[in-house]
Amino acid sequence: MLREDQIAVLVVDDHPLFRAGICDRIQSVDDSIVVVGEAGSGQEACEFIAAAPPAVVLMDIAMAGMNGIEATRVISASWPEVAVIILSVYDDDQYVQAALKAGASGYLLKTVDAAELRESIRQVARGGSALSPEVMRTVLSHLTDSHPQPVGLTDRERQVLELVASGAANKVIAKELALSPRTVEAHLRSIFDKLGVTSRTEAVASALRAHSIRIPDGN
């Protein structure tokens, strides 16, 4: 039985040795993050989640059968309380955008160090988002080639979304902007509707492309 302060994680990858390495990297420092299961395919992941939903799923993309993007789409639709972080060797824009559109809360490369991976797990478990610097650069590299359409976000919605882009969870955003958490949720629903997206990370990517928000310091 997990304590209230522990984060349950499911590791999904078709290479057993890689799964073992990830489990060791995220559990070696303390017991605040606990691997509760492993899966070798998207289908196995969905079956595991149906029986015992974890807080966070670390998901590979390239797997036989149901791949990571398809599995993320199913998880986002069926278990929206479960956050998915894509952990992949691919930083191509097509994979990043597909993952965000599918509902991923984060996208990290497999070269991520253990400390960043653990912090990313904590961020998405709190309702935040996590994009590796390399992935953020991939998103931004297409800005100059795009033809953005104006997006009618209010000043407050821009402030909310810029904090989302920094990885802040709703409670942190509420405190920073002196709002209630419910008001933050209402702003996010409005942002999603205006941008035509379904996830926080997809909203950030879409707004960056449209030059509707500024890049937070440090990204």
Choice among 18-27, 82-91, 131-140 with the minimum mean pLDDT = 131-140
In a 13 Å sphere around the CA of 164, the CA atoms on its Cβ side amount to: 27
Q: What is the pLDDT of residues 37-49, one digit of tens each?
A: 999 999 999 999 9
- Angstrom distance (rounded) from CA 128 to CA 168: 5
Q: What is the CATH number for 189?
A: 1.10.10.10
Whether residues 179 and 131 share a domain: the answer is: no
CA distance linking residue 155 with residue 191, whole number of Å: 11
pLDDT digits over 78-113, tens only? 999 999 999 999 888 788 888 888 989 899 999 899
Predicted confidence (pLDDT) per residue in 157-212, tens digit: 989 988 887 778 888 899 999 999 999 999 999 998 988 887 787 788 777 777 77
pLDDT > 90? residue 144: no
Q: How far apart are the first and last CA of the chain?
A: 37
Residues 96, 27 share a domain: yes
User: Is 180 found in the same domain as 92?
Assistant: no
pLDDT tier for residue 213 given thresholds of 50, 70 and 90: confident
On whether residue 112 sits in a domain, the answer given is yes
The CB density around residue 111, as the number of other CB atoms within 10 Å, is 10
Domain count, the chain: 2
Whether 17 and 60 share a structural domain:
yes
Q: What is the residue-averaged pLDDT of the chain?
A: 86
CATH number of the domain enclosing 28: 3.40.50.2300
pTM (whole model) above 0.85? no
- For residue 137, pLDDT beyond 70: no
Average pLDDT over residues 68-85: 95
Q: Domain check: are 72 and 136 in the same one?
A: yes
For residue 199, what are the domain limits? 155-209
17 plus 123 within the same structural domain: yes
Task: Report the candidate in 102, 97, 111, 37 with the shortest Cα–Cα distance to residue 67.
Answer: 102
Who wins on pLDDT, 176 or 28? Answer: 176
Q: Which of 109, 140, 171 is the last residue of a domain?
A: 140
* Residues 86 and 174 both lie in one domain: no
